[in-house]
Amino acid sequence: MSKSILICGAGGQVGHELSIADSQHNLVPLSREQLDMTEPMQIEAAFAAHQPDIIINAAAYTQVDRAEHEHELAFAINRDGVADLAHACKEAEIPLLHLSTDYVFDGSKPSAYVETDATAPLGIYGESKMTGEALLRASLRQHVILRTSWVFSSTGHNFIKTMLGLGNQRDELSIVDDQQGCPTSARSIANVLLLIADRYLSGKNIEWGTYHYCNQPATTWFGFAQEIFAQASGYQDMLIRPITTSEYPTPAARPANSILDCEKIATVFAIRQASWVEELGLVCAKLDK
């Protein structure tokens, strides 16, 4: 018998990929217009209307720079909304799979971050996500927090869209080359979340807790940009030059190292990291149509 997976944040990059994914179960995607995470009554109404068996929360405030002056909204969605969702899941006795971020770390570690490393966000966005994680852990045993990084897809606002947009306006771009991380396709993230959800719904044991997942290998924003222009049609002559973070100041500080160690999720769920270069090719093919 098919069971129900309620997807919060279906209008975002990962939420969209979740909504169109193949699943043996009934997917119930809800956008912000259908389920506003800042409204606890809407969460209750969604649970009552759809009677879900598991929740995947891909809803988030993700405007890193704007969060520095939109504190209340960032915390309302990333902290309070997650706490309300966790409470509803506890009442319904169902699990919550929650998407989080590399921005909970300060980027000072010289090697890849593991799940047990101390969090120390550099800005409001990271702090709001960190506190949301903490409230979820404290209130709901049946949870998976999936931290990821540098999300991209053919939809929504992301680095690929920004690069291609700028590439249509300029002949030369300067891109930061001293921040390391792992670009990760929204499609890969959606697949991981659904794999875990399907595993639970099929009656298999789940080791609840925090996990890291990102695509591989590690690169910099400059390296990512180079590959974008190499794969996208019509940009092969684009000139880009590497610069330092200090040459491109932003309202919110970024971690110098956002590389996530994904050994735990490989060991527990046998989930291996996909190649972001290959995933980028799929995205560029969609954008070229």
pLDDT, tens digit, 9 for 90 and up, residues 24-60: 889 999 999 999 999 999 999 999 999 999 999 999 9
Give the residue among 197, 228, 241 at the shortest CA–CA distance from 54: 197
What is the spatial distance between Cα 74 and Cα 78, in angstroms, rounded to a whole number? 6
Task: Give the tens place of pLDDT for each residue, 98-123.
Answer: 999 999 999 999 999 999 999 999 99
| Structural domains of the chain, ranges and CATH numbers in brackets | 4-158+183-215+259-274 (3.40.50.720)
Q: E strands, the chain, where? A: 4-8, 26-30, 54-57, 96-101, 143-148, 151-152, 172-176, 180-181, 184-185, 209-212, 219-220, 239-243
Nearest to 78 by CA among 30, 123, 19: 123
- Whether residue 151 contacts residue 181, with contact meaning beta carbons closer than 8 Å, is answered with no
289 pLDDT more than 80: no
Amino acid at 150: W
Which of the residues 125, 200, 211, 213 is marked catalytic?
125
Q: What are phi and psi of 242, to 5 degrees?
A: -80, 140
What six digits make up the tokens of 171?
């002949």
At 237-279, the pLDDT tens digits run 889 999 999 999 999 999 999 999 999 999 999 999 999 999 9
pLDDT > 90: percent of the chain: 93
**Residue showing tokens 């047990």:** 116
Write down the mean pLDDT value for the chain.
95
| Of 8, 91, 12, nearest in space to 48 by CA | 91
pLDDT greater than 80 at residue 234? yes
- Of 285, 110, 94, which is closest to residue 185 (Cα–Cα)? 285
Band of pLDDT at residue 1, cut at 50, 70 and 90: low
pLDDT exceeds cutoff 80 at 2: no
Q: Determine whether 125 is an active site residue.
A: yes
Phi, psi of 218 (to 5 degrees): -70, 150
Band of pLDDT at residue 180, cut at 50, 70 and 90 = very high
Statement: residue 196 has pLDDT above 70: yes
